[in-house]
């Protein structure tokens, strides 16, 4: 009789713990070099996490004070911070901009320690950032800063003013198209078709970038519509991209061949070797929108 009651009690406690574990929100942190990088590379995935009750934070390591053809300095930085806070409202996330000059970022120890603190404070389950081979020096140095933090987030004597994590997060790379010295290799595919309009709505908040700076530096400023409705439609057309043959295999792995043909928009991520090495089961737990 005692044995039966003991087993029943253990099963009950396990059920409570398992339920609580399932109900605990995941903590996702995306770290970009500029105040629109996370939005471009992971905005759809962020929207899906928020819809499912999880918590997402975007960090921009620079303040974006050089990203414009007419404005600059403190006034531009202030404008870009305001844009990120509008994105935060539209996506339901937290958005923080660090005060480092755009175009002048270096992988210094003080910034590394700050990144370690940010990841710890968020108690991140997943950390996503750039790869180190990229056209923009700010992207490259942001990637180095995050990689250098990957192991140190669990070391108590580093940034000792902030408690270390008891777990090592999974670190991931945003997708890019650079081939040398090594190309991006997708490990995770997230179907963002259902939230693509929400992602575009978030990008639309970065008016200084998507309607001014990027068209100017890209040589297509004359294409930008004046009407707001037309702008949204134009921005969506600019940002839509079909699933490439190269990424189809990883999409099929996570969604199956039959479902993959229905996917219109995906965001891809590569696993960084410096953090936890997740199993397929871990990935499905950390990205519960897969196969939803």
pLDDT in tens, 26-75: 999 999 999 999 999 999 999 999 999 999 999 999 999 999 999 999 99
Q: Bridge-partner residues for 172, per DSSP?
A: 128, 271
Residues of the chain scoring pLDDT < 50: 1-22
Contacts of 256 (CB under 8 A, 6+ apart): none
- In the Cβ-directed half-sphere of 4, how many Cα atoms lie within 13 Å? 1
Report the DSSP pairing between strands 126-129 and 266-271. unpaired
The arrangement of secondary structure in 25-286, i.e. its CATH architecture, is: 3-Layer(aba) Sandwich (3.40)
DSSP bridge partners of 93: none
Rounded Cα gap, residues 277 and 292, in angstroms: 23
Q: Do strands 27-32 and 170-174 pair parallel, antiparallel, or not at all (unpaired)? A: unpaired
What pLDDT score does 292 carry? 72
Domain ranges of the chain: 25-286
Do 65 and 80 meet the contact criterion of CB atoms below 8 Å apart?
Answer: yes
- Confidence at residue 63, expressed as pLDDT on a 0 to 100 scale: 98
């Amino acid at each position: 009789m005692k044995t039966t009651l003991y087993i029943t009690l253990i099963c009950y406690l396990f059920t409570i713990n398992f339920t609580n574990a399932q109900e605990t929100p995941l903590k996702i942190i995306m770290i970009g070099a500029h105040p629109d990088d996370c939005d471009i590379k992971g905005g759809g995935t962020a929207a899906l996490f928020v819809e499912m009750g999880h918590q997402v934070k975007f960090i921009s390591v620079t303040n974006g004070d050089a990203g414009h053809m007419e404005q600059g300095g403190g006034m531009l930085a202030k404008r870009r911070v305001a844009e990120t806070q509008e994105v935060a409202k539209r996506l339901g996330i937290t958005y923080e901009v660090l005060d480092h000059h755009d175009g002048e970022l270096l992988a210094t120890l003080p910034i590394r320690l700050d990144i370690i603190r940010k990841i710890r404070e968020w108690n991140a389950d997943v950390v996503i950032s750039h790869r180190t081979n990229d056209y923009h020096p700010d992207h490259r140095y942001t990637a180095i800063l995050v990689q250098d933090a990957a192991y140190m987030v669990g070391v108590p004597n580093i940034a000792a003013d902030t408690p270390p994590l008891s777990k090592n997060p999974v670190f991931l790379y945003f997708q890019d198209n650079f081939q040398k010295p090594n190309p991006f290799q997708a490990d995770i595919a997230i179907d963002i078709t259902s939230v693509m309009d929400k992602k575009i709505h978030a990008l639309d908040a970065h008016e200084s970038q998507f309607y001014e700076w990027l068209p100017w530096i890209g040589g297509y400023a004359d294409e930008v519509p004046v009407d707001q409705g037309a702008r949204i439609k134009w921005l969506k057309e600019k940002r839509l991209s079909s699933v490439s043959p190269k990424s189809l295999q990883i999409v099929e792995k996570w969604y199956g061949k039959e479902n993959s043909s229905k996917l219109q928009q995906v965001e891809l991520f590569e696993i960084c070797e410096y953090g936890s090495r997740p199993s397929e089961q871990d990935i499905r737990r950390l990205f519960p929108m897969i196969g939803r």
